[in-house]
Amino acid sequence: MIRFNDILEKVHPYLTTEDIAEVTKAYAYSAKVHGGQKRYSGEPYLIHPMEVTSILADIRLDKESIITGLLHDTIEDTLATKDDITRIFGEEVCALVDGVTKISKLKISSTFEKQAEDFRKLILATGKDIRVILVKLADRLHNIRTISHLPEERKRIFAKETVDLYAPLADRLGIYWIRTELEDRCFEVLKPNEYDEISRMFNSKKDEWEKYSSEIKSLLQSELDKFNLDASVNTRFKNFYSIYKKMIKKNLDPDKVLDIKAFRIISNDIASCYAALGAVHSTWKPIPGRFKDYIALPKSNGYQSLHTVVIGPFGDKVEVQIRTEEMHEIAEYGVAAHWKYKIDTKERKKLIDLPESVKNIFETQTLSDPREFIDAIKDELITDFVYVFTPKGELKELPIDSCVIDFAYAIHTDLGNKCSGARVNGAIVPFSYKLKSGDAIEIIVNKNREPSKDWLKYVVSSKAKSKIRSSIKSIVSKDSEKIGKEILSKKLAKYGLNIADPTVIEKLKVFSVEKKLKNLENLYINYSLSKVNIVEILNCFNLGVKTNLESKERNYLNPNNAIIVGGANNVMVRMANCCGPIYGDEIIGFITLGKGISIHRISCKQILEVDSTRLVEALWDNTYDLKSTTSLRLYCNDKTGILSEVSNLIAKHESNIIKINAKKISSSKSSIYLEILVKNAKHLYEITRGLDSIPDVYSVERLLAPNSEFNLFEKNSRI
Ligand code: MN
């Protein structure tokens, strides 16, 4: 049974005395809160956090992670609270423990789509701190090691989840030994017969294999010595699960897979790696097409090594991997190895040198967009690649099934955007062509070309996908920028402001900054989308526009009889222009100076800003059944017959049109301004719903509504 001293011995070489005191405190705390709890095995619960911590200490994680290992189940399984953890161990530890707890609560599913979605949830739960995942992996590893104590049903679910989610995650983080152990232990649970078969075969060949491998080892060693290379040779065992996968993939018998012998040469530096490769190849014939140079071209999880397969001295295939000590460490420990190298620096969190694939997962901008994130993650889960050549002979790694567009984007965004075709090995190919390893690709460029939505059908790499999407988005936003600028320019012209005037531009820029819009273009786009209020824009020119506000009455009804103010009707009221209440709206009265009571919708923005002592209760008289006017704006496709479709619909709802006019806003789009008579809010709702259901209408908006930009200056239209 593990003792706390075992952990202390492991952390002693790299933690300070103060750190160790805190670790000890965490141990005491964990022992106290888990006191009396038992695992399925009947052992004291405390064994589990200790074993987890011991794994973390093996990969030499920092003090906070070690403490988190000891505390990782306290929030979920004991009476300890986040506040307790923060108070005793600080916020950093609490955030880590909380992250691990959140991951434990995730519902994990098994389809690939869902798996990617689970990854997203998982990454979000970590708060983007990689240490949370490392603790979780250690937790899972120990749970899997002791899985035999679980009830049968839970065993399988647990193993499935582990092999679907945590093993690939360990692989992505490059922690080879955790990945293989997780895989093999789950394999044993999920496919017991296959596991037994491979295991029996393996054991039966063990003696033979050991004899053989020591011969090969000494042969290799003496070859290396001949070349004066200081390198060591190790035999390498494949894990059972990867033997199984190879069996399935290549349709081989297990003994055939087991016949492939694997060795590893560890040398001092990169030059000796290539020299060792030369020694191997000059002794035994390499098998063509099986040499891979992951030193010059590291895998995206940071893995580096030379791989080759040769025909060995007894005529059988021998796999050889050649790498430096440091590469070996990274191959075994992955992210954790990177961690170790940086552990002495103060701001280790920022300095940790994550491999590309991990960065992609953690730093992806698309966390908030599930679909894009899933695409990105899918890419990261891919372990199969094709290797193709640029016209200059450079090698590129692309996910399997990539097309020429993926290739073009992998080289350069512009090349992707302007890609109009490609030659592969000299022949023109369609976009649907799937690249094969060894293809030499030349992209044909057309500078007028723009990315098309159709491309998304062919591309598989997340880079190509996101570049195509963002390019399509930017084409759309160029349209709205143009429209926004045009409308705003007309608006400003009415106030004597020229949008091209440098002082006007300067003011607009200042306004953009205040509004946290990146630039003028963004202001136009937001304006066209009604996300910016014209009043706010005009206010920055100090026009004193508010005094111009009083404008002609537009009410078609005499509301004096229809509204009860402060319990009495026949009070002089008028409908406020700012929010245009209609019968049925919730309303409130505002006592104006000398102009009676103005009636606003209760949700009106202006009402929020007035002196509340001047507000007075206002209610509709239920007997009131006159019609009142309201204005709508529709955006729609510019299509003949759209106006008659709109007016027919309004007639069908027994409403009358007071005003209607349409305006083209782009080559294919129009806006329609409408003033109609409606009975009440319900009636209006039915009409807008009807308008909305016309296929060519894509938005219906009630103008002068409190939450949209309302126009205090022009009544008829905002266009
Ligand atoms: Mn646990």
Q: What pLDDT is recorded for position 557?
A: 42
Give the tens place of pLDDT for each residue, 434-485.
998 778 899 999 888 888 888 888 998 878 888 888 887 777 677 777 777 8
Q: What is the dihedral of CA 635, 637, 640, 642, to 10 degrees?
A: -40
Q: If you search the block for the tokens 């909380």, which residue do you land on?
A: 98
Q: Are residues 96 and 174 in the same domain?
A: yes
Asked whether the predicted pLDDT for residue 84 surpasses 90, the reply is yes
- What's the Cα-to-Cα distance from 392 to each of 226, 296, 414, 436, 442, rounded to whole Å? 37, 16, 18, 18, 10
pLDDT band at 298 (very low <50, low <70, confident <90, very high): confident
Burial category of 531 from C-beta neighbours within 10 Å (exposed 0-12, middle 13-18, buried 19 and up) = middle
Closest alpha carbon to 678 in 694, 667, 689: 689
Q: Positive or negative, the Cα torsion across 107, 109, 114, 115?
A: positive
Any idea which of 266-270, 402-406, 547-551 has the lowest mean pLDDT? 547-551
Residue 518 within any structural domain of the chain:
no
Q: Are residues 220 and 174 in the same domain?
A: no
Q: Are 669 and 676 in contact (CB under 8 A)?
A: no
Residue 371: Cβ within 10 Å count: 12
Q: What pLDDT is recorded for position 579?
A: 80
Rounded distance, CA 178 to CA 301, Å? 15
Q: What pLDDT is recorded for position 339?
A: 57
Residue 309 within any structural domain of the chain:
yes
Q: Are residues 31 and 176 in the same domain?
A: yes
Q: Which domain holds residue 653?
A: 628-710
Residue 140 within any structural domain of the chain:
yes
Active site residues: 76-77
Amino acid at 496: G
Residue 599 within any structural domain of the chain:
no
Residue 41 within any structural domain of the chain:
yes
Q: What pLDDT is recorded for position 563?
A: 76
Question: Could you tell me the distance, in angstroms and rounded to a whole number, from the CA of residue 73 to the centre of ligand 1?
Answer: 5
Per DSSP, the three-state class of 360 is helix
Per DSSP, the three-state class of 309 is strand
Q: Are residues 180 and 306 in the same domain?
A: no
CATH of the domain at 182: 1.10.3210.10
Q: What pLDDT is recorded for position 140?
A: 93
Rounded distance, CA 557 to CA 628, Å? 6
Per-residue exposure over 429-445, b if at least 16 CB sit within 10 Å of its own CB, e if not:
bebebebeeebebbbee
Domain count, the chain: 3
Q: Are residues 148 and 225 in the same domain?
A: no
Give the tens place of pLDDT for each residue, 303-329.
889 999 998 888 888 889 999 988 888
Residue 95 within any structural domain of the chain:
yes
Asked whether the predicted pLDDT for residue 711 surpasses 50, the reply is no
CATH of the domain at 701: 3.30.70.260
Question: Could you tell me the distance, in angstroms and rounded to a whole number, from the CA of residue 72 to the centre of ligand 1?
Answer: 6
Question: Could you tell me the distance, in angstroms and rounded to a whole number, from the CA of residue 2 to the centre of ligand 1?
Answer: 16
Which residues are placed with Cβ below 5 angstroms of ligand 1, an ion?
73, 139
Asked whether the predicted pLDDT for residue 556 surpasses 50, the reply is no
Single pTM value for the model: 0.53
Please report, rounded to a whole number, the percentage of residues in the chain having pLDDT higher than 70: 80
Q: Are residues 164 and 210 in the same domain?
A: no
Question: Could you tell me the distance, in angstroms and rounded to a whole number, from the CA of residue 136 to the centre of ligand 1?
Answer: 8
Length of the chain: 719
Question: Could you tell me the distance, in angstroms and rounded to a whole number, from the CA of residue 478 to the centre of ligand 1?
Answer: 52
